[in-house]
Chain A
Amino acid sequence: MPLEFAGGGVLIEHDAVRSSVGLFDVSHMGTFAVSGSGAKDGLNEIFTNDLNRIAPGQAQYSMLCNDSGGVIDDLFVYLVSDEHVVVVPNAANSSVVIGTVERILESRDVRLIDQSPSTAIIAVQGPKSPEVIADIGLAVELPYLGFVERDTDHGHVLLARTGYTGEHGYELLVDSAEADYWWAELAAAANAVGGRVCGLGARDTLRTEMGYALHGHELSLDINPVEAGVGWAVGWDKIAFPGSSALKSIRESGPERKLVGLQFLDRGIPRAGMVVAASADSSAVLGKTTSGTFSPTLKQGIALALLDSEVKLGQVVSVDVRGRSCRAEIVRPPFVGSNPRA
């Protein structure tokens, strides 16, 4: 996926997703399937979230942690049945996730198949995405996080009401041999309703406006789910999993840092890794930004930052933007209206 498409640009592509529809080729993400009796139960002993919270035909955001509660990866789990589960990890972490799952499930009667090379993933995101899905012959009523599987003239399709933009949207897992067909069909359908193809740049501005975590930024081996504010994706009462006891004690004693949103009051664009202090003339460092960008919707700088857990919503702090001090207010993301369930 390019940063942006010729004739587009981050701002136009971002706006297409917020106002109409945008397509993203996210085939770089990994895909693997775990099947066999006990597939669901086995994965429930590995990932943080509780698969007993969902029913077949539903997807769930989850994580793989190490024993100290650090996040090896965040991922989506598609529960097809108790005997068949599809998992989509991040590209860079895919082999580590697969290796860990294989090792833990070794003694069980399940098979893991890495489907990354044979699977393409296309995200269709925006208020007009239902029209695009209907146009390509997959019209379906799906609740948020629901999915269906279809066998079509162009291979197997898993269609899910998921995404990374904060808009009503879908993700399609298709056979990579048929990826060109689906991409062309979807692009034509999107163009017909004023949408467009989008790149990695818009994907990042869209997810940052929603405050969605990106592994390596808001979540990492050094940032646990409690600090990052994704404790909702941890099954606190379920069976033990890697990191579960560490995470429970972090939750009980309270995290030292917490992830917040920063909305800029001064002109300036934050980026990841900038130092945040209580004020411009204060040497008391509160933490650092984990992501930052120009919000195309708000037309101002926004950032996610991991700060001392004492900070309060509404507090004004100072961000060091390459030597220039910019004031920013601590807010709770999302920075813009959220409509993924709409």
Chain B
Amino acid sequence: MTPDHLKYTNEHEWALVTETGTIRFGITDHAQESLGDIVFVTLPDPGSQVEAGENCGEIESTKSVAEIFAPISGVVVARNDVVETSPETINADPYGAGWLAEVNPADPTAIDALLSAADYEAVVSAAS
């Protein structure tokens, strides 16, 4: 199940334009399923600059460590402290309560270039 109202990256992340124009992002259901039990998360600090496609944090499961890639360039304006204290929230609700951070985008139109839900599902099925 890949929500239609979100945009996606090849790195298995989703992005959403919030009501205030910031970009909220997280990892996809496929990503959390592949990682298994998530037990540790490091998120970018608010105020820090992130670059699209570049590493800005870590998600660690009982099985492995994965980097978090910023889906879009900009300045971090919020991070989800809930997933730092309860990392399993990402497994339980990757598209909702398990979001990671919000970025004030350098280019508000950049999100349009990300993948649609159908395109992302094609990426996942091509890889499996």
In the complex, identify which listed stretch (A2-10, A55-63, A67-75, A163-171) lies at the interface while the others stay far away: A2-10
Which of chain B's residues 28-77 have a Cβ closer than 8 Å to chain A? 36-37, 39-40, 42, 58, 60, 62-63, 65
Minimum Cβ distance to chain A for residue B25 (Å): 22
Question: Contact between B40 and A201 (Cβ–Cβ < 8 Å)?
Answer: no
| Contact-residue bracket for chain A | 10 to 19
Question: Contact between B39 and A269 (Cβ–Cβ < 8 Å)?
Answer: yes
Task: Decide: A10 near B36, CB < 8 A? Known: A201-B62, A205-B62, A294-B62.
Answer: yes
Minimum Cβ distance to chain B for residue A15 (Å): 11
Q: How far is the CA of A10 from the CA of B58 in the complex (A)?
A: 19
Contacts of B37 in A (CB 8 A): 9-12
* Contact indicator per residue, chain A 202-223, by CB within 8 Å of chain B (1) or not (0): 0001000000000000000000
Most chain A CB within 10 A, of B39, B40, B58, is at B39
Question: Contact between A268 and B62 (Cβ–Cβ < 8 Å)?
Answer: no
Number of interface residues of B (CB under 8 A): 11
Q: How far is the CA of A11 from the CA of B37 in the complex (A)?
A: 7
Say yes or no for A293: interface residue by CB 8 A criterion: yes
Say yes or no for A150: interface residue by CB 8 A criterion: no
Question: Contact between A268 and B40 (Cβ–Cβ < 8 Å)?
Answer: yes
Say yes or no for A238: interface residue by CB 8 A criterion: no
CB-based nearest A residue for B58: A322
Contacts of A205 in B (CB 8 A): 62
Question: Contact between B40 and A11 (Cβ–Cβ < 8 Å)?
Answer: no
Minimum Cβ distance to chain A for residue B78 (Å): 20
Which of chain A's residues 288-322 have a Cβ closer than 8 Å to chain B? 293-294, 296, 301, 322
Question: Contact between A10 and B40 (Cβ–Cβ < 8 Å)?
Answer: no
Contacts of A296 in B (CB 8 A): 62
Minimum Cβ distance to chain B for residue A266 (Å): 11
Say yes or no for A154: interface residue by CB 8 A criterion: no
Q: How far is the CA of A201 from the CA of B35 in the complex (A)?
A: 13
Question: Contact between B40 and A294 (Cβ–Cβ < 8 Å)?
Answer: yes
Contacts of B40 in A (CB 8 A): 267-269, 294, 301
Contacts of B42 in A (CB 8 A): 324
Minimum Cβ distance to chain B for residue A293 (Å): 7
Which of chain A's residues 41-90 have a Cβ closer than 8 Å to chain B? none
Q: How far is the CA of A293 from the CA of B37 in the complex (A)?
A: 13
Which of chain A's residues 11-36 have a Cβ closer than 8 Å to chain B? 11-12
Question: Contact between A10 and B63 (Cβ–Cβ < 8 Å)?
Answer: yes
Contacts of A3 in B (CB 8 A): 36, 63
Minimum Cβ distance to chain A for residue B69 (Å): 16
* Contact indicator per residue, chain A 193-206, by CB within 8 Å of chain B (1) or not (0): 00000000100010
Contacts of B58 in A (CB 8 A): 322
Contacts of A322 in B (CB 8 A): 58, 65
Given contacts A12-B37, A205-B62, A269-B40, 8 further A-B contacts (CB under 8 A): A4-B36, A4-B63, A10-B62, A201-B36, A201-B63, A267-B84, A294-B62, A322-B58
Residues of B with Cβ closer than 8 Å to A?
Answer: 36-37, 39-40, 42, 58, 60, 62-63, 65, 84
Residues of A with Cβ closer than 8 Å to B?
Answer: 3-4, 9-12, 201, 205, 267-269, 293-294, 296, 301, 322, 324
What are 28 A-B pairs with beta-carbon distances under 8 A? Answer: A3-B36, A3-B63, A4-B36, A9-B36, A9-B37, A9-B62, A10-B36, A10-B37, A10-B62, A11-B37, A11-B39, A12-B37, A201-B62, A201-B63, A267-B40, A267-B84, A268-B40, A269-B39, A269-B40, A269-B65, A293-B62, A294-B40, A294-B60, A296-B62, A301-B40, A322-B58, A322-B65, A324-B42
